[in-house]
Chain A
């Protein structure tokens, strides 16, 4: 793939890449580093993309695996700010109550669970999510059921409060 084609693909999918960086990292420097890591991984793996899946699927797969690997290695992964402070920094959250709620929910999850929720919201099925994150289907299903029950107990009140305000 030629460079200009690659640049076009990245630019067309910049919303995905930036959103993933922002939900995993509160610090803007960490977001910038992660963005660069993702671009580099996409460029390195562009030769393996055969067009069997959607380009956005490939972007999600590479981006999330890059982030999760980085998190596993513990590179500047610990968010030191309390959740309330993080939410204040998220300018976009003010745009819509549901976006704010989404941030709140995602921030409360473990790294792999964040990826599962994002892919679910994007419309992928458990089997596809398992393949993309290189997990077993059972693992994804179990985690997803646990996430749903956690959110049900944690955020039901918050959801109502946010919707009412």
Chain B
């Protein structure tokens, strides 16, 4: 037996597993939670920056 003989089997397996399409909602539900932490991180960074500016001004007596 040669491994090359199984190339067509691999192609066939891929085709069989591609018959059913993936619902966009299914994919979005996977990737969207990973998007929101980035937004939260950005919001947190902005908040820290604003606090830093206020504290700096306050400490300088301005």
Residue numbers in B under 8 Å from A155 (CB-CB) = 1
Please report the C-alpha to C-alpha distance between residue A18 and residue B16 in the assembled complex, in whole angstroms. 10
Query: Contacts A121-B3, A122-B10, A123-B7 known; A40 to B30 CB distance under 8 Å?
Result: yes
Of the candidates A19, A40, A95, A117, the one whose C-beta lies within 8 Å of that of B14 is A19
- Write 14 A-B pairs (CB below 8 A) sorted by A numbering: A3-B31, A7-B24, A10-B22, A19-B14, A19-B17, A39-B30, A40-B30, A43-B30, A98-B9, A117-B3, A121-B6, A121-B9, A152-B1, A159-B5
Q: Interface residue count for A (Cβ, 8 Å)?
A: 37
Please name 19 further chain A to chain B contacts, defined as beta carbons within 8 Å, in addition to the given A43-B30, A92-B16, A95-B12, sorted by A numbering. Answer: A3-B28, A3-B31, A6-B27, A7-B27, A10-B22, A14-B18, A15-B15, A18-B17, A19-B10, A19-B14, A92-B17, A95-B16, A96-B12, A98-B8, A98-B9, A99-B9, A101-B6, A151-B1, A159-B5
Interface SS of chain A: helix, strand, loop or mixed?
helix
B30 touches A14 (CB 8 A): no
How many residues does chain B have at the interface if contact means C-beta atoms less than 8 Å apart? 23
Q: Is the CB of B18 within 8 A of A43?
A: no
Partner of A15, one of B3, B9, B14: B14
Partner of A120, one of B3, B9, B13, B30: B3
| Residue from A14, A117, A147 in contact with B21 in the complex, judged by beta carbons closer than 8 Å | A14
Which A residues are CB-close (under 8 A) to B17? 14-15, 18-19, 22, 92
When C-beta atoms are compared, the residue in chain B nearest to A96 turns out to be B12
In the bound complex, residues from chain A placing their C-beta under 8 Å from that of B27 are 6-7, 10-11, 39
Least CB separation from A147: chain B residue: B3
Interface membership of chain A positions 40-52, coded 1 if the CB is closer than 8 angstroms to chain B and 0 otherwise: 1001100000000
A102 part of interface (Cβ distance < 8 Å): yes
The answer to whether A15 touches B18 (Cβ under 8 A) is yes
B interface footprint on A7-28 (CB within 8 Å = 1, 0 otherwise): 1001100111011001000000
A156 within 8 A of partner (CB): yes
A62 to chain B, nearest CB (A): 14
Contact B7 A40 (CB under 8 A): no
